[in-house]
Amino acid sequence: MAEAGEFTRQALTNQRIDLAQTEGLGDLLSAETKMQQQQALNLMGGRLSKKCEEWHSIILNNLSMITASIDFSDEELPDNILEEFSTKLRDLVRDMEAALSGHQTAERLRNGFQVAIVGEPNIGKSTLLNFLAGRDVALTSEIAGTTRDVIEVSVDLDGIPITFLDTAGIRDTEDVIEGLGIERALTKADQADLRVVLVDPTSERKPGGVTIRSDDIILHAKSDISNRGDSNSVSGLTGDGVDHLLSQVKFIFADRLSNIGLTAHERQRSLIIECMSHLHNVIAMVDHNFEEVELVAEELRASMIALDEVVGKFNIESVLGVIFSSFCLGK
Ligand SMILES: Nc1nc2c(ncn2[C@@H]2O[C@H](COP(=O)(O)OP(=O)(O)OP(=O)(O)O)[C@@H](O)[C@H]2O)c(=O)[nH]1
Ligand SMILES: [Mg+2]
C-alpha cells in the first residue's frame, strides 16, 4: 500500500497524475476483488510510469550520444562505442519483454479469469454452476440439451476474480438451436483460461469436440450416486468435492499470478511493442554498420515518442480516449 500512499500524497500536493495512472484510477473504480484493487493501486501509484521514465532516460542518453556524433564528428563512430550502444539497447529490449511477459495474466486479473464448465449433456454442469453461485441461475432438467446460451457467474476466490461459465452439453445434434449453443460452448471452451470437464464415471467418455488440454481439471460427475467420493469427483447436487475443486482453481491461478506483467491494458502493451520495434530497427542498423546516423537517431526518437505516449506525454486524443474507456462516459 506504500504506492497508494504515494498517490494520495501526490493528490494532496495537487500534482497531476499521468495517463497510465488515470487508467489505474479507472481500474480501481471498477475493481471488485482485493487483487484487482491491489493491481489498480500499483498502476495508479506509478509503478508502470516509473519504469517508463527509467526506459525513457536510457533512450534519451543514447539519443544524445548519437545526436552529438552527428553534430560534432565527420568521422564514423568508433566500433567500441557502437558495440556498447547496441548492448545497452538489447538489454533495454529484454527488460521491456520481461515487463510484457505477464501482460495477459494482468489483463485477465483486471477482467476476471474465465473458467468454462464443459461436458456431455445431462452430466450436471448447470447444477454445479448453481451450487457455485449459491442460487438458481441456470435451468436444470433431466432432459438432455437443456442449456443453450452460455451462463456466467462471477466469484471472488480469496481476491482472485473468477467467472464460471456454464455451457451447452456437447453432442451430435439435428436441432439447429442446440447446434448453435454447442458452437458457442466450443468457442468459449477454447478461449477459457481454464476448463472443468465433467465426465461420466461409468463410461469415462470425454465430450467429443473438446480437445483436452494438459491443465484441464477432469472430474467425475454426480459423485453422490456413483459412490466415487475420491478427489477427482464432484456433485453439484450435494456440493461434495466443490471445496477441493475451488482450491485447485485457486492454486492454478495463484501460480499464474506469480508472473504478472507491468502492463494490464492493451493500449500500454501495444505502445511498448511499437517502441520495441523501433529499437529493433536501431539494433539492426547498428549491427549492419549502417552509415546514415541521422536515420538511426530518427528511429530512436520514434521509439521514445511511442514510449512517452504510455504515460501521456502528451496527446489530448489519447487522454480523452482513456477517460472515455475507463470511466464509461458518453455511452
Ligand atoms: N444425483 C445427482 N444428480 C445430478 C447431479 N448434477 C445434476 N444432476 C441431475 O442431472 C440432471 C441434469 O443436470 P443438469 O445440471 O441440467 O445437466 P447439464 O450438464 O447442465 O445438462 P445440459 O444443459 O443438457 O447439457 C438433472 O436432473 C439434475 O438434477 C449430481 O451431482 N447428483
Ligand atoms: Mg445445462
Cβ atoms of 187 and 245 within 8 Å: the answer is no
Judgement on whether residues 119 and 163 belong to the same structural domain of the protein = yes
What are residue 156's phi and psi, to 5 degrees? Answer: -100, 105
Is 196's pLDDT higher than 90?
yes
50: CA distance to ligand 1 center in Å? 52
Q: Is the distance from the beta carbon of residue 145 to the nearest atom of ligand 1 less than 6 Å?
A: yes
Judgement on whether residues 285 and 205 belong to the same structural domain of the protein = no
9 within domain boundaries: no
- Span 222-234, average pLDDT: 83
What pLDDT does residue 287 have?
86
- Span 139-143, average pLDDT: 93
Judgement on whether residues 91 and 187 belong to the same structural domain of the protein = no
8 within domain boundaries: no
Judgement on whether residues 250 and 312 belong to the same structural domain of the protein = no
114 within domain boundaries: yes
The CA-to-CA distance between both ends of the chain, in Å, stands at: 33
Judgement on whether residues 57 and 147 belong to the same structural domain of the protein = no
Q: Is the distance from the beta carbon of residue 159 to the nearest atom of ligand 1 less than 6 Å?
A: no
Judgement on whether residues 92 and 132 belong to the same structural domain of the protein = no
63 within domain boundaries: yes
Which of 135-144, 177-186, 264-273, 281-290 bottoms out in mean pLDDT, i.e. has the lowest? 281-290
Q: Which of 236, 257, 278 is the last residue of a domain?
A: 257
What pLDDT does residue 312 have?
86
3 within domain boundaries: no
Which of 7-11, 122-126, 185-189 bottoms out in mean pLDDT, i.e. has the lowest? 7-11
What pLDDT does residue 330 have?
47
Domain of 317, CATH number, reads 1.20.120.430
- Three cell numbers written together for 293: 546516423
**Which of 140, 202, 219 is the best mutation target for the ligand 1 pocket, counting ligand atoms within 8 Å of the beta carbon and taking the most?**
140
Atom of ligand 1 at shortest range from CA of 169: 25
**Which of 118, 120, 122, 177 is the best mutation target for the ligand 1 pocket, counting ligand atoms within 8 Å of the beta carbon and taking the most?**
122
* Most confident listed range (7-11, 26-30, 202-206, 209-213): 26-30
122 within domain boundaries: yes
5 within domain boundaries: no
Give residue 237's domain range. Answer: 108-257
Residue ranges of E strands in the chain? 113-119, 151-157, 160-166, 194-199, 217-220
Q: What is the DSSP letter of 88?
A: H
222: CA distance to ligand 1 center in Å? 8
What are residue 224's phi and psi, to 5 degrees? Answer: -70, -25
- Tens of pLDDT, residue by residue over 247-257, are 999 999 999 99
Q: Which of 232, 257, 282 is the last residue of a domain?
A: 257
Domain count, the chain: 2
What pLDDT does residue 17 have?
84
Is 314's pLDDT higher than 60?
no
Domain of 153, CATH number, reads 3.40.50.300
CA distance 213 to 151: 22
Hey, whose CA ends up nearest to atom 6 of ligand 1?
Answer: 124
What pLDDT does residue 82 have?
74
Write the secondary structure of 157-177 as one string of H (helix), E (strand) and C (coil).
ECCEEEEEEECCCCCCCCCHH
Atom of ligand 1 at shortest range from CA of 140: 16
Cβ atoms of 154 and 30 within 8 Å: the answer is no
Atom of ligand 1 at shortest range from CA of 120: 25
- Which residues have C-beta within 8 Å of that of residue 97, sequence separation ≥ 6? 276
Cβ atoms of 189 and 109 within 8 Å: the answer is no
* Residue with more model confidence, 288 or 113: 113
316 within domain boundaries: yes
Judgement on whether residues 170 and 74 belong to the same structural domain of the protein = no
Judgement on whether residues 162 and 46 belong to the same structural domain of the protein = no
- Tens of pLDDT, residue by residue over 64-114, are 888 777 665 555 556 677 788 889 999 999 999 999 999 999 999 999 999
Mean of per-residue pLDDT scores for the chain:
87
- Three cell numbers written together for 243: 471445496
280: CA distance to ligand 2 center in Å? 50
- Span 102-131, average pLDDT: 96
% residues pLDDT > 90 (the chain): 70
* Residue with more model confidence, 293 or 151: 151
% residues pLDDT > 70 (the chain): 84
Judgement on whether residues 296 and 226 belong to the same structural domain of the protein = no
Judgement on whether residues 49 and 129 belong to the same structural domain of the protein = no
Q: Which of 257, 284, 316 is the last residue of a domain?
A: 257
* Residue with more model confidence, 287 or 277: 277
- Span 182-196, average pLDDT: 95
Judgement on whether residues 49 and 148 belong to the same structural domain of the protein = no
Judgement on whether residues 139 and 202 belong to the same structural domain of the protein = yes
